[in-house]
Chain A
Amino acid sequence: MSSSKRTKDVEALTAELAALARETAGSGPEPETEELLDYLEGRLPPKAEAALQRRLVASPAATRKLLDLADLAEARTAPQPTAGADRTDEPADLAVHAAWRDFQRRRGARPAVSRRPPAWLAGLAAALLLAVLGLGSWVWQLESRGDRVLANLRSLELSEATRSREVPALALPEGEPLRLVLAPPERCLQYRAELTGPGTRRTVRGLELDELGRVSLLLDRAGPGRYRLRLSGCEPEREISTYRFEIVRPGGVTS
């Protein structure tokens, strides 16, 4: 809701409501964080709860703090089926996964070693040092590549503008995954994406909007050619939008 589009009457009404709310709540300090958490958890006595509710209605800052705390508290109890798991095949987790990789880089952490070698292996390890160094270098290269692909994943944003007239093309090296970012014109609880392209037909269900109102999905091993993505959703399910895009190989031609 945009307040700039409100009529003068509604603006005046809002001012009256705000004034009356402040009058009803009386003056007092802003609620403490712990008090707000108690309110959310239903731990306040009825009288204190009613008083706090009046203060919330009078104070947008306190209300915003309550909503922030509720969001954090909800996150704790929400199901996290992929937590800690290395599941890059789930489109919905892709952003979090990439962010985690980025976070690790920012923290400057090296990939953790899960087990230290027993003491009796120390001599043997010394003897194998050169071989280990060679192998380590190879592993490091592989891991660096993994990080690059996940964190700096190529993205293709398909917006309303690209729906009908233009067919955006992206140069994608062979073997690299691609993140498709859609901005659906209609808000639904969940979406279903049907992707058709050269030699591929794939359906992804259960896609949800992120906090920016976008839907992301991962396309791995996409061959060159033209693709069509049909997005459907809402209740009853209906087609929301169709997007087209093209993948070309760098320096190559479309098949």
Chain B
Amino acid sequence: MNDQEAASASDTGPPPRAGSGDPGEDRVGAAVRRFQTARGADRDAAFRLIYETYFRALQRFFARRGLSADDALDLTQETFLGIYKGLETYEHRERFAAWLYRVATTTYLKWRRRAATGKRSGVEISRDAMDQPEAIASTPGLQLGTLVAEERSRELRAAVAELPEQMRECLTLRLYHDLAYREIALVKKISVETVKAHLFRARKKLEERLAGFAFGDSDV
């Protein structure tokens, strides 16, 4: 998570004012308004609809950040507590999904701050590891290997530049972002079949262009 995202999510309130809400009044929009006006059982029923609508999505939100099942469930519940508190004064200025994302992100950042205490030794280890490449480069026996790697890198760069843009972007999303076909299709706004075709052709082109280049079975 970058600084800007962290800064924008550092506070869930004050909730948005009235204005450009979601188009139309669907069941969630109706539930939000019912929650804000009703009392007792009606209010609980309205919130339950919101809860059941977003429970799985929020659980996945935290699971995607590498949290254990227990932690993901715990943070999902914490997020819903935040939603419950903020919903009363939510005024539809921004889209509901954006507001939910902000509440979930805030919950996650708070959790990360709590979890970060006592982990400074991990940072020290990372710094030691960062010093190592310099030491390796200064070792004469390893310089030839570095030259070979640089040559290979030049070849790769040229081969990558030759790939058509769509194909290259699908490959980037697959390898660099580690996305599933369905997710690539969503980001690129193309069908899953097109994603598969792009990746298949990219793989073929690179294997033809670069001698001895081999993808793993699960790479693309």
Listed in ascending order, the chain A residues whose CB lies under 8 Å from chain B are: 1-3, 5-7, 9-10, 12-14, 16-18, 20-21, 29-30, 33-34, 37, 42, 53-54, 56-57, 60-61, 63-78, 80, 82-84, 93, 96, 99-100, 102-103, 106-107, 109, 112-114, 210-212
- Nearest chain A residue, comparing its CB with the CB of B57: A75
A contact residues around B49 at 8 Å (CB): 80, 83-84
A contact residues around B96 at 8 Å (CB): 76
Known contacts A13-B160, A20-B160, A63-B187; A72 and B175 CB within 8 A of each other:
no
Known contacts A30-B4, A100-B48; A17 and B97 CB within 8 A of each other:
no
Kindly list the 4 A-B residue pairs having the minimum CB-CB distance in the complex, ordered from nearest.
A114-B41, A75-B57, A112-B41, A72-B97
- Are B176 and A14 in contact, CB atoms less than 8 angstroms apart? yes
A contact residues around B76 at 8 Å (CB): 99
Q: Can you report 28 residue pairs joining A to B where beta carbons are below 8 Å apart? A: A9-B152, A9-B212, A13-B160, A14-B175, A21-B169, A21-B172, A30-B5, A33-B101, A53-B187, A54-B169, A57-B169, A60-B176, A63-B177, A65-B5, A66-B186, A68-B64, A72-B58, A72-B61, A72-B97, A76-B53, A78-B53, A83-B49, A83-B53, A93-B52, A99-B55, A99-B77, A211-B59, A211-B63
Is B80 located at the chain interface by the 8 A CB criterion? yes
B42 to chain A minimum Cβ distance, whole angstroms, is 8
Is B192 located at the chain interface by the 8 A CB criterion? no
Q: How far is the CA of A164 from the CA of B210 in the complex (A)?
A: 47
A216 to chain B minimum Cβ distance, whole angstroms, is 12
A contact residues around B48 at 8 Å (CB): 83-84, 100
- Are A53 and B169 in contact, CB atoms less than 8 angstroms apart? yes
B contact residues around A6 at 8 Å (CB): 216, 219
Q: Which of B78-131 contact A (CB under 8 A)?
A: 80-81, 84, 94-98, 100-102, 104
B contact residues around A211 at 8 Å (CB): 56, 59-60, 63
Q: How far is the CA of A16 from the CA of B202 in the complex (A)?
A: 14
Q: How far is the CA of A29 from the CA of B40 in the complex (A)?
A: 45
Q: How far is the CA of A77 from the CA of B44 in the complex (A)?
A: 21
Q: How far is the CA of A75 from the CA of B172 in the complex (A)?
A: 27
Q: How far is the CA of A65 from the CA of B178 in the complex (A)?
A: 14
Contacting residue for A34 out of B27, B44, B94, CB 8 A: B94
Q: Which of B1-46 contact A (CB under 8 A)?
A: 1-2, 4-5, 8, 26-28, 40-45
Known contacts A64-B64, A113-B41, A211-B60; A16 and B101 CB within 8 A of each other:
no
Residue in A33, A73, A102 with the greatest tally of chain B CB atoms within 10 Å:
A33
- Are B51 and A17 in contact, CB atoms less than 8 angstroms apart? no
Contacting residue for A99 out of B42, B63, B73, B84, CB 8 A: B73
Contacting residue for B45 out of A2, A5, A84, CB 8 A: A84
- Are B156 and A83 in contact, CB atoms less than 8 angstroms apart? no
Known contacts A68-B61, A211-B63; A34 and B98 CB within 8 A of each other:
yes
A64 to chain B minimum Cβ distance, whole angstroms, is 7
- Are A61 and B101 in contact, CB atoms less than 8 angstroms apart? no
Number of residues from B at the complex interface, CB < 8 A? 76
Q: How far is the CA of A231 from the CA of B167 in the complex (A)?
A: 39
Known: A13-B175, A212-B69. 7 other contacts (CB 8 A): A12-B153, A13-B156, A61-B1, A76-B53, A80-B49, A83-B27, A93-B52
Is B196 located at the chain interface by the 8 A CB criterion? no
Known contacts A69-B98, A76-B96, A211-B60; A13 and B206 CB within 8 A of each other:
yes
Q: How far is the CA of A112 from the CA of B95 in the complex (A)?
A: 29
- Nearest chain B residue, comparing its CB with the CB of A97: B52
B185 to chain A minimum Cβ distance, whole angstroms, is 11
Is B137 located at the chain interface by the 8 A CB criterion? no
- Are B160 and A112 in contact, CB atoms less than 8 angstroms apart? no
B contact residues around A76 at 8 Å (CB): 26, 28, 53-54, 96-97
B contact residues around A2 at 8 Å (CB): 218
Q: How far is the CA of A13 from the CA of B214 in the complex (A)?
A: 11
A214 to chain B minimum Cβ distance, whole angstroms, is 9
- Are A103 and B80 in contact, CB atoms less than 8 angstroms apart? yes
Contacting residue for A60 out of B5, B54, B177, CB 8 A: B177
Q: How far is the CA of A66 from the CA of B64 in the complex (A)?
A: 13
